[in-house]
Amino acid sequence: MRPQDARILLTGATGGIGQAGARLLARAGAKLMLAGRSPARLAAQARELQALHGDCASWREADLTDAAALSGLAQAAAGWGCNVLAHAGGAPAFGLAAAQEPQALQRVLATNLLAPMQLTTMLLPHLQAQPAAQVLFLGSALGAIGLPGFSTYCAGKFGLRGYAQALRRELADTPVRVQFLGPRSTRTPFNDAAVEAYNRATGTAMDEPGAVAQALLQLLQDEAPERFLGFPERLAVRLNGAVPTWLDGAFARHRKAAADTAARPTDSLLPRG
């Protein structure tokens, strides 16, 4: 849809990608309800957007892992006339599978998979009653490629992609378009020194959050069902989708980097010079 017609509930609005996305979407004429956990940051962000673009932003505090908060958020968004639900909230998870704490597995999957599913379910009746609506999932290239060191994160993002695909097909003859965006690694606080070290060791490129924000805006406008960002990631997604076992031998460097970074103290992972 046209940004001027969009009333977007944006989760993860305070994040690196969320902030860049909110700025770009507001500049293009969209109205935003910003959601996150920090009232002070949300209020400051809304004020900044309003100073630039007029009455374009409100905000709502909600912890995505709290069912009551999610329900309050969905009700507020419906009352506000939301017609786009953009899921940009998420939690990182990097490390060897054997070292993952059970509570961390639960928290990451609750944030990255369950919360977007629950919030979508809660808002769907309202979205289906709109003349046009969109649900935009911020997934990842790791929603289509399993990488050593990212088993928990991949589980959530693969799940999210499956959910988005099934929902897209289920809602095909309704006014609701369902979309999945798969960025590659992006330079935000999401990635700590260990991930940056892993990226350097494996030659993995990192995009700036503005590039992902641009892709979000484009997805809103062209309503494409699914888009992955960056090369060679886009090619790897296709190959991995077609014959995943062909790629099994291609990750020795990633396996080594995951094991190396897991074994080193944080300050030794920072780039030299």
Spell out, one character per residue from 75 to 114, where the chain touches ligand NAP: x when CB under 6 A holds, - when not: -------------xxxx-------------------x---
User: Looking at 8-16, 172-180, 218-226, 243-251, which segment touches ligand NAP (CB under 6 A)?
Assistant: 8-16
Q: Taking CB under 6 A as the rule, does residue 261 contact ligand NAP?
A: no
Least distance CB 175 / ligand NAP (angstroms): 25
Q: Phi and psi for 154 in degrees, rounded to 5?
A: -60, -40
- Compare residues 58 and 140 and give the one whose CB is closer to ligand NAP: 140
Q: Taking CB under 6 A as the rule, does residue 14 contact ligand NAP?
A: yes
- Compare residues 146 and 183 and give the one whose CB is closer to ligand NAP: 183
DSSP H helices in 54-101: 67-80
Q: Taking CB under 6 A as the rule, does residue 152 contact ligand NAP?
A: no
Q: Are strands 31-36 and 226-228 parallel, antiparallel or unpaired?
A: unpaired
Angstrom CA distances, 98 to 101, 144, 154, stand at: 9, 22, 15
Least distance CB 272 / ligand NAP (angstroms): 22
Q: Phi and psi for 240 in degrees, rounded to 5?
A: -65, -35
- Compare residues 38 and 128 and give the one whose CB is closer to ligand NAP: 38
d(CA 121, CA 104): 24
Member of 3, 15, 149, 230 binding ligand NAP (CB under 6 A): 15
- Compare residues 127 and 215 and give the one whose CB is closer to ligand NAP: 215
Q: Kind and range of the H or E element at 137?
A: strand 133-138
- What 3-state class would DSSP assign to 228? strand
d(CA 206, CA 141): 12
The answer to whether the beta carbons of residues 15 and 190 sit under 8 Å apart is yes
Least distance CB 250 / ligand NAP (angstroms): 20
User: Looking at 77-85, 122-130, 144-152, 179-187, which segment touches ligand NAP (CB under 6 A)?
Assistant: 179-187
Member of 7, 37, 234, 255 binding ligand NAP (CB under 6 A): 37
The answer to whether the beta carbons of residues 24 and 50 sit under 8 Å apart is no
- What 3-state class would DSSP assign to 216? helix
The answer to whether the beta carbons of residues 209 and 184 sit under 8 Å apart is no
- What 3-state class would DSSP assign to 109? helix
Member of 191, 223, 247, 256 binding ligand NAP (CB under 6 A): 191
Q: Taking CB under 6 A as the rule, does residue 16 contact ligand NAP?
A: yes
Q: Taking CB under 6 A as the rule, does residue 65 contact ligand NAP?
A: yes
The answer to whether the beta carbons of residues 177 and 222 sit under 8 Å apart is no
Least distance CB 178 / ligand NAP (angstroms): 16
Residue type, 173: D
Q: Taking CB under 6 A as the rule, does residue 57 contact ligand NAP?
A: no
- Which residues form the interface with ligand NAP (CB under 6 A)? 12-18, 36-38, 63-65, 88-91, 111, 138, 140, 183, 185-186, 188-191
